Structures are given as C-alpha cells and as structure tokens.
Amino acid sequence: MSQQSRDTVFQEWHDNQALAEQMIPLIGRLYRHHNVVTTLYGRSLFNRSVIRILKDHRFVRKVEGTELSVSDTFPLVEALVNLNLGPAHVDVGKLGVAFKKRGGGDVEAFLREELAEIVDAHDPSGNNGQSKDVVLYGFGRIGRLLARILIDKAGGGNLLRLRAIVVRGRGDIAKDLEKRASLLRRDSVHGPFNGTIQVDAEARTLTANGNVIQVIYADSPAEVDYTAYGIDNAVVVDNTGIWRDEAGLGQHLECKGVSKALLTAPGKGDIKNIVYGINHQDIAENDSILSAASCTTNAIVPVLKVLNDEYGIDCGHVETVHAYTNDQNLIDNYHKGDRRGRSAPLNMVLTETGAAKAVAKALPELTGKLTGNAIRVPTPNVSMAILNLTLERETDAEALNDFLRRMSLDSPYQKQIDFVDSPEVVSTDFVGNRHAGIVDAKATIANGKHAVLYVWYDNEFGYSCQVVRILQHISNVHFLKLPRAQA
C-alpha cells in the first residue's frame, strides 16, 4: 500500500470519527425530547462512545454483507431530528441499508415514507403515559444489574422509575449504604457503573445519575409500607429466590403500595413463567404474580420456538454449560445440593437443570420432547446451551444458519436471538450482550433431521434485559419498532 493510500484510509477514519461526534448530540436530542431510541441493527446508539458507534457500523457488514459507514447514517439521523417524531425505536442501520439499496435520493422523503406512523406525532407536553414505580427486593447480582439497566433507561419515555431497593441490614447503616453503593459502582464482571452515585446516610438513599433510590431495610415483606416513601401501585421485583410460589410471593401484594410481584427465577405451581418475546402476550391484566423463568430458559426458548415453527422438533436434549453462581461454594464445604459443595472455581460440576422441562411452560407444544442436564464450569459469567435436536424435516448447516441469521435480524424475535459467525469468539466476548441468546453459527452441525446448535448467553445481563422487557410490558410501556420486521 502506498503512503497516499495509507493517508487516505487514515483521513477517512478521522472523518468518520468527526461525523460520529456530531451524531451523538442528535441521538441524545431524539431520545430526551422525542422519546426516540435509535439503534443500529438492534444495538442502541444512545449514550454510546464514538468508537462504539463506529464498531457497530462495522457490524452491519458482518450480518448484511453490505458496508455501512457513519457517512451513510449521519444524514438520516440529522433528518430525523427535524421530523417531529413521536415515541419509537428506530433502527437507523436498517434504514441506511434500505436507502443505499434504493440508490439514495431525497433523505427526508424516504424517512417520511418509512416512518409515516410517527412523523409529526410528537407531543410537546411530554404526556406519553404515566410513570410506573419499581422496587427491587434484594440487591445481589441480578438486582444490581436491573438497577443499572433501569437507571440507564430512565427518561426517553421509558416511564419505569426505580424508586427503592429492599435489603436486610443491621448495625452501621451509613457503612452498609456505602458498601451497597460500592457494589453498584464497581463490578468485576460488568465493569464500572456508567455515571455517578451519591450516598445520603441520613435519608437512606442512593442517587444514581439523578435517580433518587430509597434503601429500605427489612427482614420480610410484612415489615414494609411503601406508601410511607411515596411509592404506590408498584411492581416489586423479587431477586432473592427465597419464595417461588404464590403463597410466598403473595406477601409482597399484602404490602401497601404494591400492585404486582415479578420473580427473577422459575416460578412454582400455577405461576406463569414468562419468556419475553415468546409468551408475554399470555399475561392478563389481573395477573399479579409472575415469573421471568430462568436465564437458561430465556436463552433457549426463542431459538426452539423459531426452529419448531420452521422445521418441527421431534425430540431433543439440552446440555447447559453454565457459569458458576453464588449458590455454589468457593472451596469444598457442605451444600444441600448434590455435588454443589465442591469448589466452584476448581471444578466442572455436573448438576441438574429444570430448563428443559420449563420450556413447556412457555412452549406447550414441546411438552415431553426435551431432556436436560447442566455442567457448572469455573467461569463467573456467560453460559452456553447445546441443543441436540431431532427435527421433523431435513436441513443442512448452511440453510439452518441462514434461517437463524434472518430471525436475528428481521423478525419479532430480534431482541431475543442474536447471531455470530466468527471462528474466534469465546465466552467473555458476550459479557453485556442484551439478547436472551446468541447462536454460534460456526459451531452449528446439521445432517438430515439431526441438528446441534450452540447458544451463548450472558446469564446475568442478558437475562436482566429480558426481565426489564417484562417490566415494560406489564407497565404498559410499549414502543413501535421501525422499520417494521419483514418476518
């Protein structure tokens, strides 16, 4: 490559950086003033760095085979600001690819056609619905990640307001609050909190990015009156896993100021186990206790759903290779569960999983068709589900991957199913992935009616995103997703 060519490539990079820098305040304005969340093939552009925006543009080439640069999308974002848009999730990447395929032309006319449902639909009064109070009961791994997501989504028409967390605590409250704040501020797996956190020991509050969060100390739900803190009609998200049936979770509903309870674990008995994107439409207005199922169930059900619809599933086995959890021991010690007493960082631990049976609660058509086991492995986050399936009609790896790629890009399940086609990815590459599961195309095996699929999932963050989607649904927080999915 000549020096002139090198200089040209370098200049193009700097030009794209400059455009991305100009794009950031426009994205922020769309979010804060119009409740428009801009994405690039499902990846949010709001509150992202210049480099992240440039990397997401490169991602388009991998999934679509089409180059898309910031110079292609910047004119679209610039025009969006002037269209007086109503609330929606707008995929600028898909619009950019469609505009290029059309051959360019009048950007504003193109957007008015593609986004006709929301053009000139902005309500300057900001009256886009009533905010919903959310309480996190328990502040462990999932509780803190839910807090991060809710704080990150505050504003922009999201309407969910994290009002309080409930924890057990005795002794020095000021010291306890500092420790809670520190665990929210720093995370060994997910990195630092993106913002600022202040502690008010006298008021017993944490203020994160302007969100004032009451910290309530209680040993049981019966001790809490939420209305005393100005909280009413709240959804309590139970992250403790202590109660998993109606009787136990019903304690939350007896508290003043609570209307619903959502469990972040598989529910027992008649509690509806919801995998958002699959059976969330089964939630009735009068359902006051719900379960978000398990992280593994959320990871595999969307993939199983689309496969069963397209190919039919005769039977199968699910093997979960799962990161160790706080339930296991750091070193060998007594544990009531089989094998779980052995040191988690030193062993692969064969254990049971209810995920295969739990699939039937979200997909009744697969009742009795799946078996399952789990292996806990010495890694703190990101797991994998191996789906060993017998299909009802034949296929091959190329056709199967092409189908799943299309489902991840342009279907109602694009928030649940992600797709990767790289020979070099490993588990840490999926830390922070917001999808329920990620299909690893390079590992797909298909021969006739036999198929083996490998599905990665961030069992902490990806699952927490699914929980927030349920929260949005039961709180009547809905956004149009444009352009419309084709499948």
In whole angstroms, what is the distance from residue 229 CA to residue 261 CA?
A: 18
CA-based nearest residue to 38, from 51, 53, 50: 53
- Exactly one of 255, 295, 315, 465 is catalytic; name it: 295
In whole angstroms, what is the distance from residue 478 CA to residue 481 CA?
A: 9
Contact 362, 272 (CB under 8 A): no
* CB-side neighbour CA atoms (13 Å) of 78: 11
CA-based nearest residue to 42, from 88, 94, 111: 94
CA-based nearest residue to 231, from 165, 275, 289: 165
Going by their DSSP bridges, the two strands 258-263 and 481-482 should be labelled as unpaired
- List the structure tokens of 415: 């928030």
In whole angstroms, what is the distance from residue 340 CA to residue 350 CA?
A: 9
Please compute Rg for the chain using Cα positions: 23
Contact 193, 184 (CB under 8 A): yes
Contact 404, 417 (CB under 8 A): yes
In whole angstroms, what is the distance from residue 438 CA to residue 435 CA?
A: 7
Place of tokens 């939630």: 283
Active site residue 465: no
Dihedral, CA of residue 218, residue 221, residue 222 and residue 224, to nearest 10: 60
- List the structure tokens of 347: 């062993």
Contact 221, 255 (CB under 8 A): yes
Going by their DSSP bridges, the two strands 234-238 and 132-137 should be labelled as parallel
In whole angstroms, what is the distance from residue 241 CA to residue 80 CA?
A: 44
- Continuous segment of H or E residues that includes residue 464: helix 461-474
Give the residue numbers marked as catalytic: 295
